[in-house]
Amino acid sequence: MKKVVSLGLVLGFALLAGCGNNEATTETTKGTENPAAATQTEATDAKTSASIVNDNDAFVKAISKDGTWIIAALNDLTIDQDLVLDGQFENKGEPARKIALYAQDADHNVTDRYTLTAPKLTVNSENARIQGGTFKGDVYVTANGFQVVDATVDGNLYFSTQEQLDAFKMEDGAKVTGETAVKAE
C-alpha cells in the first residue's frame, strides 16, 4: 500500500512539475486559486504558470525575475539569505505576483499553512501578495499594490514611499506583528 501511495505522490508531483514548465500562459481557475491547479488560456507576453516548490533553491529561483507569477510552497522553508521577489508577471491581464504559503482542497478550503523564514524579503514586483501562511522576517516593499491576504508577516513591514503604504491592503484576517512604516532600505 505504501508503494502505491508513494508512486501516486511521485506521479502527482511530476504532473505538477510539467504544468509549471509549460511555455504557454496559464491562469488558475478561480479568484481564490489553487496554487497547484492551472488551466490553459490564450498566450500573452508574460508566462503566468505556477511554481510548486518544496526546497530553498527552487523557491529562490521561482521568486526571481525569471520565475513564475505564483510561488506555492509545499512545506515550511528556512532560508538564511535575503530574498528578492523580482520581475513583472501577469495574471488575467493584470500585473500580479503571489507567494502562496498554504495548501488547499478541491473546494478551495485551506488544509495546511506553511512558514517561510528569511532575514529579509524585498518586494520589487507590482501587485505582489503573501497569502495563507507566515513570513518570518522583515519585508521591504518597493513596488505598488502590495497585499497580505489571510497571512501573517512576523516582523516589520517597510515601504519605500508613503503612496505604497497608503495603497497597502491587509485582507481576511491578515496581520503584521512588527512596525508598518515608510523606510528606505
What would the mean pLDDT of 140-155 be, rounded to a whole number? Answer: 98
Residue 33 has pLDDT above 70, yes or no: no
Residues of the chain above pLDDT 70, percent: 73
Task: Report the predicted TM-score, pTM, of the whole model to 2 decimal places.
Answer: 0.75
Q: What is the dihedral of CA 63, 32, 35, 49, to 10 degrees?
A: -70
Statement: residue 76 has pLDDT above 80:
yes
Question: Which whole number is the average pLDDT over 148-169?
Answer: 97
Q: How do the domains of the chain map onto residue ranges?
A: 2-182
DSSP per-residue string spanning 22-88: -SS-EE-SSTT--TT--EE----SS---EEEE-SHHHHHHHTSTTS-SEEEESS-EE-SS-EEE-S-
- Flag whether pLDDT at 41 surpasses 80: no
Residue 9 has pLDDT above 80, yes or no: no
Q: What value does the mean pLDDT take over residues 89-114?
A: 95
